[in-house]
Structure 1
Amino acid sequence: KYFQVTMKLPSLYLRPSLLMASLVIQLITVVVASGGGSGTTSSTAAAAAAAAPTKKYNAMFTFGDSMDETGNICVGSSNKTELNVLTCTHPPYGETYFGRPSCRWCDGRVVVDFVAQALGLPLLPPSKAKGKDFRRGVNMAITGGTAMNFSFYKSLGIENLVWNHGSLDTQIQWFKELLPSICGREQSCKGYVRKSLFMFGAYGGNDYNVQLLERGLTPEQAMNYTPKIVGAIANGVVKLIALGAVHVVVPGIFPTGCLPIFLPLFGDGDADLDDAGCLKAYNLLPPDQVPQLDAPEAGGSPPAEAPQLDEAHVRGLLRPRVPDGPGAPQVWV
């Protein structure tokens, strides 16, 4: 019962993000730098997001974990007992949009659903679904997805503590296997992929959760793994670029100290909380873990006609609930 409640509550926290994402989300390209700048308010971000120019994409391809899941954990399992244990297969999940559980860890649509609809694309089918048309997009995200591979957790001796059905590299492999059915030969695919949008993550949340919840590390200790996690994400972006991708959104993770499962476990009174009611110590984990890629590694400089998207756009579209501060990702439209 407690598990069901804690898995339900994160969707309530996501609702402001869904509202912002449903503004006009004419999205973004390859994230190639992480830099600072002055803060902006959420109202400014909303206005900036609404003013963004419209972009047309062939398709949208998404990767990630339960925050982006649209059904892979369900269609990829034939074990009815396992499916019954998943709370996302029971009411009240899905009640506000589908009217039934849709294997999304949410009361309705997840963020990538709003992005797809804002761009005039269909809701993306899970990559493990049979008999679906993936030419307008497909979702590789799966519950428990991590930035780090299984071998990393095995090297720490904690492979039995990780519920991982598809790491970042595994999801990229799924995508590569699907490409011929989406766009044919390699040369044709490069052109098709170039005009498609990629939502890559957010990755890293489950990697930190394992360290905090299963290993009992402090936030400071868990942050020792940040370089490895960010490195894995950066390598994943480079792999997508090698496949022809030029429009890639790399969001940061949600503030860990705001996740409902952490509040009763690690909170001990108001002194532990910030003004938003989140655990201050656990919000030390980096919500801005967007990898920095040098221009040559990312495939060169952006096109001359591509204006730089300012912080207001990024905050409005990707992180409306995260406090303003240095380190906001910079991207191009």
Structure 2
Amino acid sequence: MKMRFLAHFVALILFPCWFVSVRAEEIKSPQPCDFKALFNFGDSNSDTGCMASAFYPEILPYGETFFHEPVGRASDGRLIIDFIAQHLGFPFLSAYIDSIGTSYRHGANFAAGSSTIMRQNRTVFQGGTPFTFEIQVAQFNQFKNRTAKFFNQEKENSFTKDIPRPEDYAKAIYTFDIGQNDIAAVISQSGMEYSHAVISEIVDNFTSQVQYLHELGARTFWIHNTGPIGCLPVAMPVHNAKNQSLVAGYLDLNGCVNYQNDMAREFNKKLKNTVVKLRSHYPDASLIYVDMFSAKYELISNANKEGFVDPSKICCGYHENGHHVYCSNRAIINGKEIVPGSCDDPSKYISWDGVHYTEAANYWIANRIVNGSFSDPPLSIAQSCHA
């Protein structure tokens, strides 16, 4: 035993470079995954046209920065999901219900603005959209089954060039960015004694749908937690009634509402716990938990350093003294017509319309998450099938 230890010690002294090269070889990161498609589920943070196709389309100045026209995105340009698709080498995802000029060869987007994880037929979840997470998963199942029929024929036809192959679903990456509207609903009922139970129920419902997607063949899951909802400018007192007295601790150092962010943190903690449990249940799957809260909060905390204006400022819309006229809308306030336009330079703003982020902010955040810096386990999205 002593002789072996001595030999090892001598080798370390005489041949240190050899040992370093062996160690580097041992910890070499895994190869990028060969994803065949990308399927996304979420709310307005990743909706690329569902609500615009289903209801009223957006109007300018939405989309003005990159697309130079409204394209169904709640931003002046690209969303985080757009940058994720580009990073993986895919085209922008078409909304599932968008029937004009769409291609689903490399995946589809089921996200819809105002969507929630919970069904919206209970008091706390009034309003919103019919496209809940459960409905989005049902749409995916229908999409998968219907596209498979075209490949059960003897030969491909002209339509099959625009849809995924049956084998692509197991080799796809499934991304999720949903839950913010559920937390907003809980916050709006802040006096509820059962808010903790509701948050647990929200996470349980999310878990059920992920399990169902696994049954349908999904194997790589990229799951975003919810962002700092208390840092959305429309939630900040600066855009609401003036001179309101705030108790100590109501706001943090960035002007964000503490109790609202605490709700988001509770949801995120329970979400991470359930992701860990799912890993033990599904050893054949890869489940990546992405800390979007921390990524977004880092940007908000370092706004000036990163070249942005004060994070409470809103590029498009009118938000003063508790009056909120959202981007592209108009209203009469104190006898005066308000028709708010966008700011001169959206690239300097974090918040586009008080709720959603600008393309510049989305780009900043996307660059921080795709490399695995905010992921558990810390894998880049291109390597996320190896967890």
TM-score normalized with structure 1 length: 0.66
Letter in 1 for 2:43: D
CA distance in structure 2 between the partners assigned to 1:319 and 1:184 by the alignment:
43
> Are 1:106 and 2:84 an aligned pair?
no
> Are 1:217 and 2:187 an aligned pair?
no
Matches within 5 A, 1:125-274: 125-130=94-99, 132-151=102-121, 153=122, 157=123, 161-184=126-149, 191-200=167-176, 202-213=177-188, 215-217=189-191, 222-264=195-237, 268=245, 271-274=249-252
Residues 203 and 233, structure 1, Cα contact 8 Å, conserved in 2: no
Residues 135 and 182, structure 1, Cα contact 8 Å, conserved in 2: no
- Residue 51 of structure 2: aligned partner: 73
| Structure 1: gaps of 5 or more residues | 1-50, 78-82
- Residue 344 of structure 2: aligned partner: none
CA separation of 1:233 and 1:167: change in aligned 2, threshold 3 A: same
Matches within 5 A, 1:18-97: 54-77=32-55, 83=56, 89-97=58-66
Residues 255 and 285, structure 1, Cα contact 8 Å, conserved in 2: no
Q: For 1:226, what is the secondary structure of its paired residue?
A: helix
Q: Tell me how many residue pairs correspond in the alignment.
A: 255
Residues 180 and 186, structure 1, Cα contact 8 Å, conserved in 2: no
CA separation of 1:318 and 1:150: change in aligned 2, threshold 3 A: closer
Matches within 5 A, 1:293-312: 293-295=277-279, 297-298=281-282, 300=283
CA distance in structure 1 between the partners assigned to 2:253 and 2:75 by the alignment:
25
How many Å apart are 1:100 and its aligned residue? 1.4
CA separation of 1:121 and 1:207: change in aligned 2, threshold 3 A: same
Letter in 2 for 1:122: P
Instruction: Give me the identity figure in percent.
Output: 24
CA distance in structure 2 between the partners assigned to 1:53 and 1:318 by the alignment:
28
How many Å apart are 1:234 and its aligned residue? 0.8
CA distance in structure 2 between the partners assigned to 1:110 and 1:217 by the alignment:
34
CA distance in structure 1 between the partners assigned to 2:180 and 2:140 by the alignment:
22
How many Å apart are 1:295 and its aligned residue? 4.0
Letter in 1 for 2:186: Q
CA distance in structure 2 between the partners assigned to 1:134 and 1:301 by the alignment:
26
Q: For 2:281, what is the secondary structure of its paired residue?
A: coil
Letter in 1 for 2:68: G
Q: Which has the larger radius of gyration?
A: 2
Show CA shifts across 1:199-257 (max 9, x none): 12x222111212323x3536x75333111011011111111111111111111011121
CA separation of 1:273 and 1:296: change in aligned 2, threshold 3 A: closer
Letter in 2 for 1:244: G
CA distance in structure 2 between the partners assigned to 1:90 and 1:54 by the alignment:
39
Residues 61 and 140, structure 1, Cα contact 8 Å, conserved in 2: yes
CA distance in structure 2 between the partners assigned to 1:65 and 1:222 by the alignment:
21
Residues 75 and 129, structure 1, Cα contact 8 Å, conserved in 2: yes
Show CA shifts across 1:145-185 (max 9, x none): 1101134x1xxx456x3222211110011111111344448
CA separation of 1:277 and 1:149: change in aligned 2, threshold 3 A: same
How many Å apart are 1:286 and its aligned residue? 3.2
- Residue 253 of structure 2: aligned partner: 275
CA separation of 1:328 and 1:58: change in aligned 2, threshold 3 A: closer
RMSD, aligned CA: 3.3
TM-score normalized with structure 2 length: 0.58
CA separation of 1:158 and 1:232: change in aligned 2, threshold 3 A: closer
Letter in 2 for 1:136: H
Q: For 2:174, what is the secondary structure of its paired residue?
A: strand
CA separation of 1:258 and 1:189: change in aligned 2, threshold 3 A: same
